[in-house]
Amino acid sequence: MTLKKKLVALEMISLFVLSSILIALSLWIAVDELAIRMEETLRVAVSGFNGDTSYLRDSGESIDLTVFEGDTRIDSSIENVIGTKASPEVIDAVLNRNETYFDTDVSVHGIAYYGYYIPTETGMLFAGKPKSDIQNFIRTILVILLGTGAVAYFLCAFVSILISSSITRRIKNTADRIDILANGDLSCEIPDVNTTSRDESVVIAHAVSVLHRQLKEIVTNISTQTEHLNASNSEFTSKFTNIAESVGNISHTLEEIAQSSSTQAEETSSASSQVADMADVIEHNSNNIANLERAVSQMTELSRQTSATLTDLILINEKTMANVITVSSQTDATNVSAGKIRDAVQLIQNIAGQTGLLALNASIEAARAGDTGKGFAVVAEEIRKLSETSAASASEIELTVKELMDNSGISVKTVEEVRTDAKQEKEKLNLTRDAFQKLKLMVDSVYDVSKNIYEQTQRLEEQKNIMNGVVKQLSSISEENAASTQETSTRIQTLSAIVEDCRHETSLLTELSKNLQNQTGKFKL
């Protein structure tokens, strides 16, 4: 099947499908709109009811009216329906729910109607149009749509055939030109094409024209360059021979350089190893000096803390001396008080002895007095007992005071010893503080020296790192030079092989240029 027939068939099928869809949509819209219009017409019919159910039939309208009493027809323009009842759906919607009711398929005495019901005070009112009349109208619309669609279909088909013929004619002309190009004929005339057109067939024709022009230019250039290539091949062959000899000399020289670079790399690696050993020693010394600096710092801190502690101990010793002096004074005062108590006790003992003698004398006199002196005898007895108790208490107090004075003497002796020891302790603490102050000065001096050594070591470490980096860089450069020299030697050898291959390829290129000249000779310019 030709392209023209395919395009025509495709357009005819597309037009048929489109026409069918448009007719179906139009018919569906018409039927739906007809139902809406019919509902409005029947609503107007029942709204304008004047008591005569046949007034619309008499005026030429095919609309029937029916009056219901409850659910029973009592008057109607439809024959033989008086006394019949409405359907349950109508009764439920109109009578029970007091709503209007419309349906496109209401059966009245076996005849299908487009029916509309409204409720009234005594029942319902119905207006209906036979469905057969509406179906006839729909058939008329369908015939009109089909006729219009058929006319439009054939008109569009005719226009499509004309357009397809034009497109296929242009495509055929373009195909003929491509066939000429495929046969190698580039001598034909290149027609002008409208480059501003948006027609795809015109765009294709323009592209073929551009292809024809560019292909002719390319073949012409290839033919010209082939002649130049043939002339250059002989010159390249002689030059490649000279290059091969020069590459051989360079390869020999590079081998000698590679040996020297390898020796230099080994010596640099040895120096790098020695610098690394020296760096380890410097690093070890640096760590030791750092540890020494930390130890000196700790000793300085401990010296400062010890000096502060000694100062605190001296202050505590001075407070202790003051307290000892106070205790000694209080002990002396206690001894004086104890002596006074002892004198008072002796006085109490004397008084108790005299009181006992007086009580004894009173008892004797009371015995002589008989019954008259019994009361005085009881008093004398009580005084005697009191005198004995006082004497016993005075003895206990005397013993306690004696023990207190003995202990006080021991305390005084102990206080004197503590005063002597505290004085010696103060002198030793002062000597120790002076020694720690001297030690602190020495530690500070050692700290300054160690700090200076550490700073010098740090500078030495920096110089070591710089020197180590330089040696490593020299070693790396030597290794890279050796590797680069070896690699260059390898590449020179490869280049020598490539030059030889190029010489071989030059001969092949000569043959290819001859073949290319033969191929371009097939085109007719």
Q: Which of 71-85, 344-358, 418-432, 478-492 has the highest mean pLDDT?
A: 71-85
pLDDT of residue 116: 94
Nearest-angstrom CA–CA distance, 113 and 65? 11
Sheet containing 101-108: give its strands across: 72-76, 64-69, 123-130, 111-119, 101-108
**45: buried, middle or exposed (CB in 10 Å: 19+, 13-18, 0-12)?**
buried
φ, ψ of residue 474 to 5 degrees: the values are -65, -40
**Three-class SS of residue 197?**
coil
The residue with greater pLDDT, 170 or 132, is: 132
Q: Out of 12-16, 168-172, 382-386, 488-492, pick the least confident.
A: 488-492
Residue 88 φ then ψ, to 5°: -60, -35
pLDDT digit string (tens) for 320-331?
778 767 877 777
Higher pLDDT among residues 234 and 131, named by residue: 131
Long-range contacts of 515-522 (CB under 8 A, 24+ apart): 516/222, 516/226, 517/223, 517/226, 517/227, 517/230, 520/219, 520/222, 520/223, 520/226, 521/223, 522/184
State residue 97's pLDDT score: 93
Q: Residue 451: pLDDT above 80?
A: no
Q: What confidence tens digit (pLDDT) does each residue in 293-342 have? A: 676 677 677 767 777 776 777 788 678 778 767 877 777 777 777 778 77
87 backbone dihedrals φ, ψ, rounded to 5°: -75, 160
Q: Whole-angstrom Cα distance, residue 227 to residue 331?
A: 141
Residue 520 has pLDDT above 70, yes or no: no
Q: Which two tokens stand for residue 441?
A: 């000065």
Is residue 278's pLDDT more than 60?
A: no
pLDDT in tens, 74-111: 999 888 889 999 999 999 999 999 999 999 889 888 88
Judge whether 327 and 415 are in contact, CB under 8 Å.
yes
Q: Where are the alpha helices (DSSP H) in 183-199?
A: none
Between 399 and 202, the higher pLDDT residue: 399
Return the pLDDT at 197: 62
Q: Which of 284-293, 353-362, 384-393, 421-430 has the lowest mean pLDDT?
A: 284-293
**Residues pairing with 112 in the sheet:** 107
pTM listed for this prediction: 0.34
Q: What letter does residue 125 receive in the DSSP assignment?
A: E
Q: Give CA angle at 297 (294, 300), nearest 5°.
A: 155
DSSP state of 195: T
